[in-house]
Each structure stands twice: as C-alpha cells, then as structure tokens.
Structure 1
Amino acid sequence: MRRGWFLPLAAALGFVFLYAPIVSLVVFSFNENRLVTVWSGFSLRWYGELFRDPQILGAAWLSLQIAAISATIALVLGTLCAVALVRFKRFRGRTALAGMVSAPLVMPDVITGLSLLLLFVAMEGLFGWPSGRGMLTVTIAHSTFCMAYVCVVVQSRLSDLDLSLEEAAMDLGATPARVFFDITLPIIAPALVSGWLLAFTLSLDDLVIASFVSGPGSSTLPMVIFSKVRLGVSPDVNALATIIIGIVALGVVAATIFQLRARPKRARA
C-alpha cells in the first residue's frame, strides 16, 4: 500500500518541481504590473510592448535564421559522418574521425567558443576571411557543435538498419547512389528529422558560444534576453517566453497527433 502511494507522490512532486516555474512565468506574463512578482490584474500590455521592441524582434529573426541554416548544414555533415562510421568499418583515420565527432559532446561550451574565436581571428589575419564577427561566424560555430549531435542520432538509426533491403535493391541492379536515396534515406527519415530539430533547438538556445563568436549587430535572442535579465526580469521577457512555450507546445501536440494517425497505417502495412 505504501509503495502504491510513493510512486504517484514522487511523480507529482517531480512534475511540480519542473513545471511550476514555467506556469508562474506564463501567468505573470499577463500581469498588468511592471513588477513580475506582484499581481495587479490581467492585461495584454506586455505582449504589445514586446511586438513594439525592435531589439527583441530583430534578435529573434536573426536567431531563427542562424538556427535554420546551422541545423541544415549540421544535418548534411552529420549524416555523412554517420554513414562513414557505420558503413565503412575500417579506413585510415576512422578513430580520429570518431573522436572529433564525439569531442563537441563533452567539450565545455566555454572551451569551444574560445577555440572558435581564436580560429576565426587567425583565419582573418591569414586569409582575410571571415571579415569580423557576425552572423556568418555564429552560423559556422553552431554548425560545428550541432553536427556531433546529428551524427549520434543518425548513427544509432543506421546501426539498426536491415542491410538485406539494400542488398536486395543492389541485386536488382540499383546503383549505390540509387540505393542510398531510394532505400536508406526514406528509412532513416525520422532520425534525420529528429536530428534537424535537435540541432535547431540547440542553436536557438545557445548563449555561451554565440557570445564568443558574435560581433556588433549580431546579438542572438538568448544574448538579448540575458542582457535584459541581468538588469532584472521584465514582463516583456515573460511574454516572449510564453510565446516560445506556446509554439513548442503546439509542435509537440501536432507531432503526437501525426504519430497517432500514422500508427494504424503502419500496422496495416
């Protein structure tokens, strides 16, 4: 009987610990008062203030651009690395490639950001490119560490792939490129989508690395929010966080509905 009470109680306390701050943030985003801890009435005032703030809007648009480009580059490079590590068991430099792919997963963000900054400074001194720090350097930096996460996700899916499907296609006369695009890619498509979404989220959320490699006029949304929070949490930041939470929640609900609808089709197939 005690065991029956303990598990639900522990789960309830865990959910309260995780989601109570988020619920508080959402509630106080509708607060009329400037003080985020004093409720004085329901109002949409701070949402209006948010959409009239060019700094936040510009930083949000810049972050979305960087995240989309970085995730796409990381998806391509990470998939190629995963294919090389899974399908080609022995080749010169395989151990070095596996180590370099895994390094960003365990490397502190401060070390990664500092090393990339020194690399960009050295490249600018030697080749004149990239000229200064801005959106380009942030995109390259985010693609670098996001590629490792994509490689891990795709590599795990490729390891479980049934090779007999590809072998049957090649026995029927398909070229290796045709097999990859017609057989392998559709099968690992869920892993590719997951890897892209993970890279997009990591890039959108990054603060430390972007602080090292960004320059004037290229502040990302986390950098702007951090600079605002240092002076005290303002209600417009709560409004922005609420909008992001709503978008994420809608995405999760849409993905869940899609999976539930696709499950009977897969069962029939």
Structure 2
Amino acid sequence: MLRAITLLGFAFLYAPILSLVIYSFNESRLVTVWSGFSTRWYAELLQDDQILGAAWISIKVATLSATLATVLGTLAALALIRHGRFRGRPALGGLVTAPLVMPEVIIGLSLLLLFVAMDNLIGWPAGRGVLTIVIAHATFGTAFATVVVQARMVSLDRALEDAAQDLGAHPLRVFFDITLPGLAPALISAWLLAFTLSLDDVVIASFVAGPGASTLPMVIFSKVRLGVSPEVNALATLMIATVSILVLAASFRSWRR
C-alpha cells in the first residue's frame, strides 16, 4: 500500500511535466493532438526574439535582485542575531518577515504606489522598467534570504571568532576570514532561493514592470492566455533540462565528496 501511494504521489507530481516534455516534440501546433516527432518548435523558439529578450531580462533581473537580497539579508541577520537587544529590533524583525506572509498582490500594489510617489516627488525611479523590477524582487527576496542566513548564523561557533580577536585580528578580518566562510553554504542557498523566486514571479513584476521590460513569466502567461503554444512547451522543456542537469551535477559532486 505504501509503494502504491508513493507511485501515485510521484505520478501526480511528474505526469504533467512528462506530458509537457513529450508534446514539445510534437509536429502539430495543437498541443493535444500527436501527429509525429519533430524538433521544429525548438528551432522556432531560438528565432523568437520576444521570448529570448524576455529570458535575458529575467536572468538579469534575477541575478541582480538575488545578489542585493543576499547582501541585505545577511546584514539583517547579523543585526538580529549578533547585536542583541537594540531600539527598533522588534520593528526590524517584523519588517523583514512581513513579506513572507503578505500576499504578492499587496506587495506589488504597494510598491507600484511607492514608485509612482517617488517619481512625482524626486523624479527617481523615472518610470517603471528593469530597475523597479529589481528593487521589487529584492524586497521580498530579502525576507527569504534573512531567514536562511539566520538559521545558519545561530549554529556558528562564536568561540572561533573570539579566538581570532584574542589573537589580534581586526573585526573586519574576522568577518571575512571566519564568519563569511562559515556562512557560505547559507549564502549560496539564500542566493539560489532568491534567484528562483525572482525568475518565477509574475504577480509583482506585472505591477512594477513598464514597456519593454516584460519578464519571461509575464510573456509566457500572456501567451498561455491565448492558448498553449508548442514553443512554450519547448521553452519549459529546456528549463527542466537545465535544472535537472544542475541538480544532478550538484548531487554527483556531493556524493563524490
């Protein structure tokens, strides 16, 4: 019974993905009618400037926002874990964790109103585009990064840092030589999580994006609303293949170590 339930669970999770991969090699434009094996949609995908441009924007936005979120999340975690009680600590903790439970529609709408107000008051950011999407994604990505870094920072042995300072190391040298290497796994995890959340987001980006700054999820969503295109299946298959290769490579490296 346990094996049957496990198989049903995996089938429920992966059967739709397998169907998507299979129909990405379909000759017909109708995604529900199999008419023969073909790779024509992959060739057309590589010639689709709209999708390629949106993919480049998404990768650029995800990279910048994940980096910014990791830096801010690390600083917030240091303040919350290492500096004990200080004025404003409860407010900082609440502000950091609020995006974790707040609906994305509320975050997107509030950021849109903020950007419009700032544009009217100080003229920055001028309009909405890639910059506003990066700021928006870094805002909610910081919350996730802070939680990940906090969990790792609690388990770090502070005796190593104290010993380094007793031996004459400057606090900045201690941070870069001892604290930062100890946090490296959490920093990588936080960056990858923020990168994935940014690459996957469509709700917040729809509020803060402007003309010429459509991310890949926004383009896919607009195409799917008019009907599922075989090019979308091909794009999804390439993304699944990329993620699978990275996961297998990481697993193999971990197994070898």
Q: Give TM class, smaller chain.
A: over 0.9
Aligned to 1:227: 222
> How many pairs are equivalent?
257
Structure 2: distance between partners of 1:249 and 1:174 = 43
Task: Give the partner amino acid of 1:139.
Answer: V
Structure 2: distance between partners of 1:9 and 1:98 = 44
Structure 2: distance between partners of 1:261 and 1:100 = 41
Structure 2 residue 113 is the aligned partner of structure 1 residue 114: no
Alignment of 1:229-244 (within 5 A): 229-244=224-239
- Where does structure 2 lack aligned partners over 5 or more consecutive residues? none
Structure 1: distance between partners of 2:83 and 2:71 = 18
Moved over 4 A (4+): none
Structure 1: distance between partners of 2:91 and 2:224 = 41
Structure 2: distance between partners of 1:75 and 1:168 = 27
SS at match of 1:143: helix
Alignment of 1:18-29 (within 5 A): 18-29=13-24
Structure 2: distance between partners of 1:258 and 1:122 = 49
Q: Map Cα deviations across residues 230-258 of structure 1 (whole Å, 9 max, x no partner).
A: 00001000000000000100110111112
Structure 1: distance between partners of 2:52 and 2:13 = 28
Alignment counterpart, residue 174 of structure 2, candidates 176, 179, 182: 179
Alignment of 1:33-112 (within 5 A): 33-112=28-107
Structure 2: distance between partners of 1:210 and 1:140 = 10
Structure 2 residue 6 is the aligned partner of structure 1 residue 11: yes
Alignment counterpart, residue 160 of structure 2, candidates 158, 165, 168: 165
Aligned-residue CA RMSD (Å):
0.6
Alignment counterpart, residue 251 of structure 2, candidates 250, 256, 259: 256
Instruction: Please say which of residues 6-15 and 105-114 is displaced more in the overlay.
Output: 6-15
TM-score scaled by length of structure 2 = 0.99
Structure 2: distance between partners of 1:43 and 1:18 = 26
Task: Give the partner amino acid of 1:217.
Answer: G
What's the CA shift for 1:7? 1.7
Q: Map Cα deviations across residues 87-127 of structure 1 (whole Å, 9 max, x no partner).
A: 11111100000000000000000000000000000000000
Alignment counterpart, residue 26 of structure 2, candidates 25, 31, 36: 31
SS at match of 2:213: coil
Task: Give the partner amino acid of 1:180.
Answer: F
What's the CA shift for 1:261? 2.1
Q: Map Cα deviations across residues 45-103 of structure 1 (whole Å, 9 max, x no partner).
A: 00011111100000000000000000000010000001111111111100000000000
Structure 1: distance between partners of 2:117 and 2:230 = 42
Aligned to 1:267: none
Alignment of 1:210-221 (within 5 A): 210-221=205-216
Structure 2: distance between partners of 1:117 and 1:150 = 23
Alignment counterpart, residue 154 of structure 1, candidates 143, 149, 158: 149
Q: Map Cα deviations across residues 166-188 of structure 1 (whole Å, 9 max, x no partner).
A: 11111111111111110011111
- Where does structure 1 lack aligned partners over 5 or more consecutive residues? 1-5, 263-269
What's the CA shift for 1:259? 1.2
Aligned to 1:199: 194
